[in-house]
Amino acid sequence: MRWSQGFIPTLREDPANVEAASHRLLIRAGYIRQLTAGVYSLLPLAQRIRLKLIEIIREELNKMGAQEFLLSALQPIELWEESGRVNSVADVMFRFKDRKGSHLALGVTHEEVFTSIARSHITSYRQLPQIWYQFQTKFRDEARPRAGLLRVREFTMKDSYSFDLDETGLDKSFQLHHDTYKRIFRRCGVNATPVQAHSGSMGGSASIEFMAITDAGEDTIVLCSKCQYAANIERAESSYAPLENGYKGEQSSLTEFATPGIRTIDALAKFKEGAPASRQIKTLVYLADSKIALALVLGDQELNEAKLQSALQCKALRQAVEAEIVEALGAHPGSLGACGIKSAPDGKVSAIVADVRLKGRENMVTGANKDDVHLRGVSMERDIIPDRWHDLHTVKSGESCTSCGGTLELVNGLELGHIFKLGTFYSKTMDAGYLDNEGNRNPLFMGSYGIGVERLLAAAAELTHDAQGLSWPVALAPFHVVILAANSKDKKQIETAERIYDELKGCGFDCLLDDRDERAGVKFNDADLIGVPFRITVGRRAADGYVELTRRKDKRTADFAIADISAAMEAEITAAVS
């Protein structure tokens, strides 16, 4: 393409009020424009990258035997009612009525539609396994769209779904996706770390996120400094010394004491008759599927809500508000505790979950469920009756890895892909089954697997940009090479640039000829800003038959004979993508 005829609306200045580098540079370099909150137009340069990403993903999925579909973005709400997800996704789902009054939604994901096709047409074990995928627009009414393409309300997703006979088959499909995802991200030149993830409300047995480690990410990832351990903070574990068989703390009797105005762990730690945070029991009150549940953790630790949700196996979880707390426990926050409370599925308190680190603790302090009164001498064994023990702890930087003892660190991660063992959640709720070789009907075992295409584009920008602008990996770049005459008044230079442009195009390279009547410095800066990986500069030495080849990412520059330039480009591209 000729720059003079292309649509590359670069800006001289950074856009205002923009934080993420990808957001800033994609706007400034003329790749995207915002239409409305969380909705972007992809301009030609961005669309070139998007199509390259799609092609890489498609090739790798086809290689593993997956079959491409294209389902509708428009979906009848009945399918979501059948799966029971209509409520859990209600706040992000775009819904409306058509002219006849039928309820429709724009697809948040496509588990329901794929399952409805599977149940109609898969009847026998002979048809399994199947892996189906598509590239389709997803719509999510995010409360806080942010950071350009990183969190949007409309985006392209590659979503695939596997259907297997049993758990073993699902394990295989899951592993196949795991390996394929690693290849996809490697080919894209994007470093993505697989991390263990929280399975959410669907109770699947395994879930792995592929994360780009970048400050632009909004997830927190726990990494081990010694081994390969990597997990989302929602799921991460750290080692601790259990007390159950060895704690020698003093036994003491349960005694109330007045704590006027003391409302926090800190205040109680400073209070004369109080106790350090590590000897307090923090009692938190939640509504789990509309029922009151208590969560207990050590006073110096943070409750992990994702782990609490796993412990309670609930679909919806939120903190109780003050009125709900007073009604259930008879006291206000700051004086709460679980001593003597018996949970019952339909009682005032439906569940009491205690963190495993509390096991065996003696002589603890906690609220008495009377305002301004606490209890000391609390024994976990004697005074509190949790109905389940669970790891509820939020890992902190510097704690120890459970597998190797190495030190754990916390970093920011940006989710690029997620692979998920769904098991039989959808096949059971939506009745999708097959007959085995003995004629018995079994549910399909399903997995679902996603990659956000535009987010991957933005992640590549985040990971590779520098002070001069974008710097695309060769496999994704909108153009492999930009060719320019240093002096745009010099007919000889222009002619040579044109010749090289034609030759390289003929060799199959994506070429951009900067034929604008601009100073060399302007052309260099623009080429750097839009991030083309190679630049060929036709300058004074062209008269002697030489041009300059510059690599964008490190500015390494070398002279080549014009006759050798396509071989030189070939060698560079091959080295960059292998």
The residue ranges that bind Zn ion (CB under 5 A) are 224, 226-227, 229, 401, 403-404, 406
| Beta carbon of residue 232, minimum distance to Zn ion (angstroms, whole number) | 16
For 224, which DSSP code? E
Q: Does residue 472 contact residue 478 with C-beta atoms inside 8 Å?
A: yes
- Residue 257 C-alpha from the chain's centroid: 47
Under 8 Å CB-to-CB from 380, ≥6 apart: which residues? 281, 354, 358, 359, 360, 361, 362, 364
Q: Which is nearer to Zn ion, 399 or 454 (CB)?
A: 399
Q: Which is nearer to Zn ion, 224 or 331 (CB)?
A: 224
| Beta carbon of residue 42, minimum distance to Zn ion (angstroms, whole number) | 41
| Beta carbon of residue 230, minimum distance to Zn ion (angstroms, whole number) | 9
Q: Which two tokens stand for residue 432?
A: 């999708």
Q: Which is nearer to Zn ion, 243 or 404 (CB)?
A: 404
- Could you please report the per-residue DSSP string of 202-217? G--S-EEEEEEE-TT-
Q: What is the dihedral of CA 578, 415, 428, 89, to 10 degrees?
A: -140
Q: Does residue 209 contact residue 417 with C-beta atoms inside 8 Å?
A: yes
For 327, which DSSP code? H
Q: Does residue 489 contact residue 495 with C-beta atoms inside 8 Å?
A: no
Q: Which two tokens stand for residue 49?
A: 């990258």
Distance (Å, whole) CA 308 – CA 410: 21
Q: Which is nearer to Zn ion, 42 or 208 (CB)?
A: 208
Q: Specify burial of residue 332 (Cβ count, 10 A radius: 0-12, 13-18, 19+).
A: middle
Q: Which is nearer to Zn ion, 4 or 228 (CB)?
A: 228
| Beta carbon of residue 245, minimum distance to Zn ion (angstroms, whole number) | 25
Q: Which is nearer to Zn ion, 391 or 466 (CB)?
A: 391
| Beta carbon of residue 224, minimum distance to Zn ion (angstroms, whole number) | 3
Q: Which is nearer to Zn ion, 215 or 409 (CB)?
A: 409
Q: Which is nearer to Zn ion, 84 or 398 (CB)?
A: 398
| Beta carbon of residue 239, minimum distance to Zn ion (angstroms, whole number) | 10
Q: Which two tokens stand for residue 439?
A: 């004629």
Q: What phi, psi does 522 have (nearest 5°)? A: -65, -45
| Beta carbon of residue 220, minimum distance to Zn ion (angstroms, whole number) | 17
- 428-443: b or e for each residue (b if 16 or more CB lie within 10 Å)? eebebbbeeeeeeeeb
| Beta carbon of residue 406, minimum distance to Zn ion (angstroms, whole number) | 4
Q: Which is nearer to Zn ion, 226 or 388 (CB)?
A: 226
| Beta carbon of residue 405, minimum distance to Zn ion (angstroms, whole number) | 7
- Residue 344 C-alpha from the chain's centroid: 37
Residue type, 89: V
